[in-house]
Structure 1
Amino acid sequence: MSTESTSSPGTPGRPYGFMLSRRWIGFALFVIILAGVCGRLGLWQLHRLEHRLDRNKVIEKHLKADPVPLDAALPRTATVDEDSEWTRVTVTGRFDASKVVTVKFATRDGAPGVDVVTPLVLGDGTALLVDRGWVETENNVRKPTDLPPVPSGDVTVTGWLRPDNGAGSDAVKVFDGQVRAISSKAQEEYVGMPLRHGYLDLLKQEPSATGSLAPEPEPERGQGPHFFYALQWWFFALLAVVGYFYFARVEEKERKHGKPRTARPAKDLEPAGS
């Protein structure tokens, strides 16, 4: 006599009981960690936005202030920090034409060019690197030879204080009279005398310079993309949580409404010829 049994659809027990399984508990832990990381990254972007807005206020204050003597803003042993960067200063000295360095790959509006950096020798035996401006050049790695002449004699320059670039040694070390980024610490040996920290973006000088070097434009003071990046990270966090419950609902429906499976008759399971 053959017997026939059927398995009931779904999973016995309370709804969504499967979520207490190891697989779903592991899934939940993963979602919690992922959402937490995305949430923290969103807060980090907001902190960056706040920092940028604070920096904009400092920049605006410096741009509106009258120039001050170099020693008042940057004493001999001081460093250019976030509070002193973009301070307008005036200083008098003599340019050292034998130590001109160009900053290669300094493009502007898509045009290739270089920044021309020259040490300004001061009366106290130190020197200050001065970015005299930008000039368009050929798009290659060779140092240009037709740079505007270096002014001779005493000059009084006015410009913005800037900190050393934090690039690696390969970028700031002088090679063939060129660098990729400006660093007073890296160029001190090349200049051959103590350098004040950072450098000066030249705005004007007296007597006026000859040549066509373009001064550094004012710093960009927008908010940047940080707020929208924060929204994106928070959206990813929300998506992870919603996705978790969505997949749980899908699996619950499959378990609840799945087709029942009918067991084969017992006689069909007997070996042939028995």
Structure 2
Amino acid sequence: MLSPGARRIVVTLAAVAMAALTFRLGLWQLDRAQQKIDLQQRIDQRGVMPPLRTDELATHAAQADAQFHRPVQLTGRWVPQATVYLDNRQMNGRPGFFVVTPLQLADGSAVVVQRGWQPRDAMDRARVAEVPTPAGEVSLSGRVAPPPARLYEFQAPGTERIRQNLDLDAYARETGLRLRPLSVWQTGAASEGLERDWPKPAIDVARHQGYAFQWFALSALVAGLYVWFQLIRPWRQGGRRGG
């Protein structure tokens, strides 16, 4: 059995450790919130920069990271036989497909263009509408984006037109194209049966601020309980006994 003095030391150390840990977690959440605020500022700043030209588009991953969310003007030729439909993609809360077609550039490389969103056929989920793809040289406006977001899939990636995800390295081997390490969201009004109301990047600052408040509140609660039970309450009880 611990003596009363030893027990007070153990309680004090435990309370200090818990209060310090929860306070540190609160600071960590505030730091995560600030990181996302900084990210949003970078996205906003890049969004108003002059459009990149075709010859300025990134050729390696580090360069691509610095171009994400920038406007871009592309000129090239579609590779329609390589069009794929990414399943389980939503736009404005509706399920459907992202239609992806490579655009071959003048230097022989290609960039994956997310051309827009197509709704799913309510009667046959494996049916897709063919998207008109102009022959010859085309120009389009877009926004540089990371490769299409990956969703969880229960089976190995396939090479069908309808698929869950698109791995750029595997897709390059499949098509024989030299792909740039990024994709482009085609922008502009709806056309060719495709909608282009692309979602904005989710910068959820409020969630981290809420977590920080919870951690700080828990830290304050631990400190308050320690002060009450270890300092104020014994002092009050001692005062009553002395009176």
User: With structure 1 as the length reference, what TM-score do the two structures score?
Assistant: 0.71
SS of the aligned residue for 1:234 comes to helix
* Cα contact 1:96–1:120 (8 A) shared by 2: yes
| 5+ residue gaps, structure 1 | 1-16, 258-274
For residues 54 and 158 of structure 2, what CA distance do their matches in structure 1 show? 25
Q: Match of 1:26?
A: 10
1:150-175 Cα shifts (integer Å, max 9, x gaps): 33322112111112367589599445
Equivalent pairs, count: 238
Q: Aligned partner of 1:234: which letter?
A: F
Among 39, 52, 67, the alignment partner of 1:84 is 67
Q: Match of 2:33?
A: 49
* Cα contact 1:135–1:213 (8 A) shared by 2: yes
Q: Match of 2:120?
A: 137
* Cα contact 2:188–2:196 (8 A) shared by 1: no
User: With structure 2 as the length reference, what TM-score do the two structures score?
Assistant: 0.79
* Cα contact 2:186–2:196 (8 A) shared by 1: no
Q: How many percent of aligned residue pairs carry the same amino acid? A: 26
Q: Aligned partner of 1:240: which letter?
A: V
Change (3 A) 1:90 1:48: same
* Cα contact 1:79–1:197 (8 A) shared by 2: no
Q: Aligned partner of 1:238: which letter?
A: A
134-143 or 59-68, which moves further after superposition? 134-143
SS of the aligned residue for 2:182 comes to strand
* Cα contact 1:103–1:181 (8 A) shared by 2: yes
Change (3 A) 1:174 1:129: farther
Structure with a larger share of its residues in helix = 2
* Cα contact 2:54–2:105 (8 A) shared by 1: no
For residues 99 and 32 of structure 1, what CA distance do their matches in structure 2 show? 61
Q: Match of 1:36?
A: 20
Q: C-alpha displacement at 1:216, in angstroms? A: 1.6
Q: Match of 2:228?
A: 246
Change (3 A) 1:138 1:242: farther
Among 231, 247, 250, the alignment partner of 2:213 is 231
Greater gyration radius: 1
